[in-house]
Chains A and B, each alone.
Chain A
Amino acid sequence: MSFPPATEEDRLVGPRVRKVALYIVLSGMVLFYLIPIETGLMTAITSPESYTGQTPFLPPLEPLVPGTGEFSLEAWGGALDGLSGGLVNSLVLVVPATVLSGLLGSMAAYGLTTVDWRGQVGIYVLFIAGIFIPYQAVLVPLTQFWYNVVPLRTAFVPLAELLPLVREYHWKLVALIITHTAYGLPICTLLFRAHYKKLSGEMIEAARLDGASVTTIYRRIILPLSIPMFAVVFIYQFTQIWNDLLFALTIIQFGDASVVTMDLVGIGVSQSGTNFPLRMAAALLAALPTLVVYVLFGDKFAEGVAT
């Protein structure tokens, strides 16, 4: 045989046709993943009065194309009104929770890659198993803990009187920050440990021979080398905490401290029916921070979820 044997498929269809088919399938999947978001966006920029819902996926070009509705940002105003409290609360909550879980996760991972004793793997397994816990398994104790065991609420009464920006309901946000930190720690530890195992040991050895303490090694060597991993962890945690509904629902329950996902659930439904432009605008507004983070740092996000 003088030429490489053609595969069955090559004989049936030429390589060029297959290449075209490949791109058609891939583009079709792009359509599949984007069309719900695209439809939502087009609906959100339609004025609610002129919205007909006959062609939700087309941009609103009313005078030019009849039936598509008129362009308007009215729904975004309504969405901002409805979600502003939740957006602020979510932001107040997500930043400290992300930073705390990232920092503690990095510390735990450092401590557990340095440790040399039999319990090390055991401790680490306990951390890792925490990633896969269905949170329902701790909800009732969690509510009991924050409402009946820890006097966080009473601690916030005098604080709210003393400090200008603190309100009494902020105790729920503090409770939620600690909760998210605790349950985010396992995945942060996993991500950091995977990173630390790859670091060169010689540098640490050298530092140690120079008499550097465990703390110095962490501060001077490990922490600066962790910066790329911090980006991955922060992006992952930011997305997770911003998107959470379950913990918010069970710890905050109701009232002024409600976060954006809670507010989003009920928006755009009234006696007169569903206001789809408002609802889609609200959904996009609530997703905006994570979408922006994803568009800017998509590769870091991919690294976070794939590890």
Chain B
Amino acid sequence: MRNPLDRSGRRRSGEEETHPAGDRTTGWRSLLRRDSVRSAPFWLPPFLLVGLFVYGGIAWNVLLSLTDFSGLGTPDYGSLDLENYRAAFADPLQAMVNYLAGVSGWVTSGSIEPQTPSWSDLTIDPVWNSLGNTVLLMVGFSVACLALGLVLAILVDRGVRFEDTFRTIYLLPMSLSFVVTAKFWLFMYNPETGLVNLGIQALGFGPVRIVQNPELKLGAVAFALIWQFSGYAMIVYLAALRSIPTSHFEAARVDGASTVRMYWRVIVPQLRTATVSALVVITVFALKAFDFLFSMYGGYQPGPSADILATRMVREAYANQNWAYGSTIAVVLFVMALCIVAPYIYSQYQRGEL
């Protein structure tokens, strides 16, 4: 449905074209009467605020990443160079080799030379390790989250009683803070008193160190995040399932397809839009998992095997005072988010949903 204000606005701009170009007063007055101008008091102040904080901030951050700023005085914007980026992406081949050879994954920084930039006496590590962890967490967490959410949505959608109660409980963890979730799961994973370990011991195995175990860390983080966000995926899928006409379910049933096959062939393909939008949101959540790791490890040091770009960035800037290098990592993170979000927004735009 078209907004009537749209139409009247269009009519007015049409009138404007008929005015002779020299008639300035009328032109000015009709400009003032235009909807875009008259509604400016509404959208312009919020836009300026967003523009300053979001886009001004990003631009400034890119600029800072080109400096040598390390906390003292004001940043020197006179000499800009790409040194930080060279340090961040040093030794790409070695990183690749390490990864392919599986030399304890991305963890070994041994064979990748730490860099000593001109602005520091100390060495800094390239971003490969945290970049790898970020991608791993992002992919593993989002896929598992979506899969669980889809299964739950399908089950809840099968006309169960107390549907609202199930839904409310499944979504409950999402209302909690990352910090609170981390505290709960730190307790669950505790080697002596945690429920997870009590379960493992009940099965006859020894207690397992989870949170401090380099091999299990990232998985433990992902699992807790799945606990928190799978309810969200379920809600999105449920809304999508409800919008599929009942006849599609019935048609598949008459054809004699088994339930699982019916969902796989007929229903799941229709959930593409929901999958994409849930995926974008969940992936961005994974990029933001800083709060969770900070709370779980009580500070800036989650250790190399759970270090993601989000934690690395804050650590470099706020704990090590390598402000410019922190900005550089932030740019990497931003570009990653952009690669996910830009195609999404573009496709939304093309489908006319904006």
Given A7-B256, A302-B167 in contact, is the A127-B50 Cβ separation under 8 Å? yes
**Chain A residues positioned under 8 Å from B160 (CB to CB):** 22-23, 26
Given A245-B177, A261-B179 in contact, is the A201-B3 Cβ separation under 8 Å? yes
Query: Could you tell me the distance in whole angstroms from the C-beta of B116 to the nearest C-beta in chain A?
Result: 21
Once the chains bind, are A43 and B187 in contact (CB under 8 Å)?
Answer: yes
Interface size on B, residues (CB 8 A): 114
**Chain A residues positioned under 8 Å from B166 (CB to CB):** 26, 29-30
- Which A31-69 residues have C-beta < 8 A from chain B? 32-37, 39-40, 43, 52-54, 56-57
Interface size on A, residues (CB 8 A): 112
Once the chains bind, are A245 and B39 in contact (CB under 8 Å)?
Answer: no
- Which B1-26 residues have C-beta < 8 A from chain A? 1-6, 8-10, 13
Once the chains bind, are A133 and B334 in contact (CB under 8 Å)?
Answer: yes
Once the chains bind, are B4 and A201 in contact (CB under 8 Å)?
Answer: yes
Distance of A23 Cα from B40 Cα, bound (Å): 54
Chain B CB within 8 A of A154 CB: no
- Which A234-289 residues have C-beta < 8 A from chain B? 239, 242-246, 249-250, 253, 261, 264-266, 269, 274, 276, 279-280, 282-284, 286-287
Once the chains bind, are B5 and A204 in contact (CB under 8 Å)?
Answer: yes
Once the chains bind, are A290 and B5 in contact (CB under 8 Å)?
Answer: no
Query: Could you tell me the distance in whole angstroms from the C-beta of A226 to the nearest C-beta in chain B?
Result: 13
Once the chains bind, are A139 and B178 in contact (CB under 8 Å)?
Answer: no
Once the chains bind, are A114 and B39 in contact (CB under 8 Å)?
Answer: yes
Q: Which listed segment binds B: A70-78, A158-166, A179-187?
A: A179-187
Chain B contact residues: helix, strand, loop or mixed: helix
- Which B215-255 residues have C-beta < 8 A from chain A? 227, 231-232, 235-236, 239, 253-254
Chain A contact residues: helix, strand, loop or mixed: helix
Query: Could you tell me the distance in whole angstroms from the C-beta of B39 to the nearest C-beta in chain A?
Result: 4
Once the chains bind, are B46 and A40 in contact (CB under 8 Å)?
Answer: no
Once the chains bind, are A53 and B193 in contact (CB under 8 Å)?
Answer: yes
Chain A CB within 8 A of B209 CB: no
16 further interface pairs, Cβ-Cβ under 8 Å (given A108-B47, A179-B53, A293-B175)? A7-B259, A116-B35, A121-B349, A125-B349, A129-B342, A129-B345, A132-B341, A134-B288, A134-B333, A137-B334, A137-B337, A139-B314, A197-B3, A205-B4, A264-B295, A302-B168
A-B contact pairs, 17 of them (CB 8 A): A9-B259, A37-B173, A56-B193, A56-B198, A113-B5, A115-B35, A115-B43, A134-B310, A134-B334, A136-B314, A138-B53, A139-B330, A143-B318, A144-B64, A182-B49, A283-B180, A286-B180
Give 5 closest A-B pairs by Cβ, nearest first.
A53-B193, A111-B43, A111-B42, A138-B57, A116-B9
B interface, CB within 8 angstroms of A: 1-6, 8-10, 13, 34-36, 38-47, 49-58, 60-61, 64, 74-75, 152, 155-156, 158, 160, 166-180, 183-185, 187-188, 190, 192-195, 198, 227, 231-232, 235-236, 239, 253-254, 256-260, 280, 284, 287-288, 290-291, 294-295, 298-299, 309-310, 313-314, 317-318, 323, 326-327, 329-331, 333-334, 336-337, 340-342, 345, 349, 354
